[in-house]
Amino acid sequence: MSIENGVFPNMWKKARLIPIYKAESRTERNNYRPISILPILSKLLERHVANSYVKFLTENDILSSCQHGFRAHHSCESTLILICEHLLDNIEQGLINGIALIDLSKAFDLVDHRLLLQKLEQYGITPIALKWFKSYLNDRYQVVQIASFLSNPALIKSGVPQGSILGPILFLIFINDLPSYVGSSKPFLFADDSTLISSGSDLHELSVSLKSDMTSVSRWTNHNKMSLNPGKTKIMKIYSQSKFPDLSPITIEVNNNNVKEITSAILLGVTLDQHLKWDRQINTIYNIINSRLYLLKRIRSYLTFQSRIQLYYALIYPHLLYCSTVWGNANNDLITCLLKLQKRAARLILEQSTEVPSIVLFRKLNWIPIFNLIKMRKRLLVFNTLKTSWPPDLRKLFVFVRDSHPIPTRSSITDLKVPSVKTTQAKSKISFNGASLFNSLPSELKDIENHSIYSYKKKLKTYFIQLNYEVDHVNKFRCIDCKHITHCQCYSQ
């Protein structure tokens, strides 16, 4: 009845808002994210509407390919992979990259309802559905709860409910036209996190391009009653240190405010520096895991073996996995630092001394060393992209040999075309090393059609666990990829 009549029940429009701390000073209210606690029944209705509307958006290809937030088969990882691919392409062409990290203040809270409804109508929503969304947005009330204290009810005049089902989807619709304002720069969006990448053969060309498109973004915020925060918006150059050994700072001014230039930035949880070296990112991972291993060491005597395993997979393993396809191209010495932590974790869990070879511990735990774990993750990423064809921009990076070669061969049936590159750094592009790693798999693991994502992931992990270690007649171990024996960084003690 609600959907048929285009009316959202008033009793479900009352939200209890709880402020969740984000970062920095706890005394600043801007450092808290408001999360709405909504009635369960309202969420069930929202889920039904959301499923139908997302299907409509997908079938009609309405959402920008630049947007990776709140979308199936999209993630922080896919965003960062495409960003790095674009940066490395520009570096290989001898260009200087300029990244603008755009900060929109209170983006979800400032969504103008009238403008949002206009955009919904422009994207082809039916009149009755538009009436329902208008009813959903209007006359909403909230109370703020801090501990046991409640505020007086307040009417919500703008924004989409954070903590709701429809809120994120409506925000994607609202920000969907932002990329159309950008000229020469390449935009990458993850919900309200907006990144622009410009490039130029010199600093002047770069500055002109970056300033022009940042001004365009500022114009979009003005047209859409949003707020660009110049204090938190940053710019950064990313370039080849060998080609440009000494670059001076660039000056960009937006809304009469100078935008601060930085030398490293945390983007979607991963630290990028000016030369894509990844040492700061791996240092961050190292410090987090090291502190948690210290905790595990202190409490291991009170834990069962199974509890120690669970603690590892809850507190340590996710940090080895998160965006490892991005930072996994780091120098081998940096990855070795993480391998040492992985070995220490194995010894703590199994309560073994350093006299026991780490390879024995890994086999008991069915663990894959970090070097090969990264390779496995890249191969899985390639398979998932080929299987789902999402995200479209990532799918375009992988081309089957059979689709580009005039004369088909036996290998071209399942192999991917490996693009030619001019520099060593360009080999870290997912289009290059992802395709190379995928091609090196056995033919049965390159069969896209006859595997589901779940079954493929299971088989790939089994392949690495079983075949990663080859035992020869003197009980030495061989790395299946690099073919080195014992001194291979994957297995050395």
Q: What is the pLDDT of residue 433?
A: 96
Question: Pairing state of beta strands 193-200 and 154-156?
Answer: unpaired
Is the pTM value of this prediction over 0.85? yes
Q: What is the pLDDT of residue 23?
A: 81
The more confidently predicted of residues 31 and 382 is 382
Confidence band for 369, pLDDT divided at 50, 70 and 90? very high
CA atoms within 13 A on the CB side of 225: 12
Domain boundaries, the chain: 10-270, 278-367, 373-468
Mean pLDDT across the stretch 57-72? 96
Q: How far apart are CA 346 and CA 312, in angstroms?
A: 9
How far is the CA of 133 from the CAs of 37, 136, 264, in angstroms? 19, 5, 41
User: What single-letter amino acid sits at 328?
Assistant: G
pLDDT tens digits for 408-432?
665 668 899 999 999 999 999 999 9
Q: Is the pLDDT of residue 352 over 80?
A: yes
- CA-CA-CA-CA dihedral for 147, 149, 153, 159, to nearest 10: -20
pLDDT tens digits for 145-195?
998 899 999 999 999 988 899 999 999 999 999 999 999 999 999 999 999
Q: Is the pLDDT of residue 77 over 60?
A: yes
Q: Is the pLDDT of residue 488 over 60?
A: no
Cβ atoms within 10 A of the Cβ of 389, count? 12
* DSSP per-residue codes, 186-254: EEEEETTEEEEEEEESSHHHHHHHHHHHHHHHHHHHHHTT--B-TTT-EEEEE--TTT-S------EEE
* Region of poorest pLDDT, from 87-91, 145-149, 191-195, 435-439: 145-149
Confidence band for 30, pLDDT divided at 50, 70 and 90? confident
Mean pLDDT across the stretch 329-341? 96
Q: Is the pLDDT of residue 492 over 50?
A: no
SS3 at position 358: helix
The more confidently predicted of residues 255 and 286 is 286
